[in-house]
Amino acid sequence: MTAALGQAPSNGSTAISDFDLNEYVPFLINRSATRTAAAFGAMLKPYGLNITTWRLLASLNHRSHQRIGELADFTGIELWTVSRVVSRLEQDGMVERARGDDDARGVIVSLTPAGRTLAETLIPEAERYEGLVLEGFSEEDTKLLRVLLDRLFANMQR
CATH code of residue 114: 1.10.10.10
Nearest 5°: the CA angle 39, 49, 71 is: 100
Number of domains present in the structure of the chain: 1
| Residue 155 resides in a domain | no
* Residue 50: Cβ-neighbour burial (10 angstroms; 0-12, 13-18, 19+): middle
The model carries a pTM of 0.81
**pLDDT tens track, the chain, 158 positions:** 555 666 655 666 666 888 999 999 999 999 999 999 999 999 999 999 999 999 999 999 999 899 999 999 999 999 999 999 999 999 999 999 998 776 656 889 999 999 999 999 999 999 999 999 999 999 999 999 999 999 998 998 87
Alpha-helix residue ranges (DSSP H) falling in the chain: 25-44, 51-62, 68-75, 79-91, 113-133, 139-155
Q: Is 12 left (phi over 0), alpha (psi -120 to 50) or beta?
A: left
In a domain, 61, yes or no: yes
Cβ atoms of 71 and 89 within 8 Å: the answer is: no
In this structure, is residue 88 part of a structural domain? yes
Counted residue by residue, the chain has a size of 158
The pLDDT assigned to 6 comes to 60
Cβ partners under 8 Å of residue 122, min gap 6? 44, 47, 49, 54, 57, 58
Domain that holds residue 92: 49-135
pLDDT at 99: 86
Q: What is the pLDDT of residue 59?
A: 97
Q: Within a domain: residue 31?
A: no
